[in-house]
Structure 1
């Protein structure tokens, strides 16, 4: 059976990926910080789908956590889903510097190092791929979060170009607002987000898997978010930044 490594696997988009991949017959390596939730999820997937599930308790904001994940990725996986991440509810100067640096480590350094660890084995086998979870926030000027997510998009596109022709695919996934624990954990106000803008995590992942199999480089599931991203490219950068600032830190 193919094996998928999913980071941030116990909740939200990561859990939705784990559910979908287990149902598709993937053995799983689930990475998150909460060991108890990891073990519970692993038992559920084993019972429901008969797949093998490893758990890796690691904090990707730490060197030890990234190194442990790196070792497992290098040992061989067929699909890597770099999903772990978090948001900030305040502005740059009001956010502790340590939290900003942790965001860079989780959103950028971990993504880079795990991708670098996983790809050589995939290329040797001539199959496999990486899904790096970014955000529609990548297309707007909105704090360190948006900056890290546009890095993920650019990084994914660059690596995809580097490995073209090797049977391996790298895709950036850019979701909009999704019903997950993300916003509560980040202490974000969700009240101003219209109901129609919210996406279901399982539906999002189904669209992402379709795009990945089709070889899409940057996946923006849902027509309204495709339109939003298109609009962001069509209007002047300064106006886009002002609109983003007024909307607050509500991107996922």
Structure 2
């Protein structure tokens, strides 16, 4: 990795991980489809999805983000919708589904590798992600991108305050930083509130909890079709 002289206004670029650099949400949706099938005798799909989402919202504060919290929320929902009569075989299958998710190979999204390499050639680059520590470390190690990052932050929540602290610790503050990710709620809006650039790169699948209105009137908000345009945008910002 080179050690560039930071003379541009923008000195530090941070990437989200899940569904920005590699696939993630589709594995949750595949597992939720299995969950729906397993509980088909107890609840219709729409009702079950609503109950699971409500459990996930309740449990984020205790379990955090990631696969383990998702599995615990599925088990809680299964117990709830069956009036505590859920078969042990269903619980066992949900736990096995969680283990399969934790062992799933990493699949990089289009343009991920070349984009991180290109930006790392001119700017300080960070990875800022949330979720289970061990799982995020596993995914980063398998991705082959780890050596490109000047810093890695795995946080419990993404907020304006956490971005301000991270960009102050690894750079010259959020005012000279840019955060790119697929979540409007976690990657874009709080970074803009912290005073930095927020770049939205949509992913075909999105968790409902991560939805937020785009800050279209914010001068430091940008949206790209995919990561392939990021290096150009970084160069344009200067």
Larger RCO, structure (CA 8 Å, separation 6 or more): 2
Alignment TM-score > 0.5, same fold: no
Larger Rg: 2
| TM-score, length basis structure 1 | 0.38
| TM-score, length basis structure 2 | 0.40
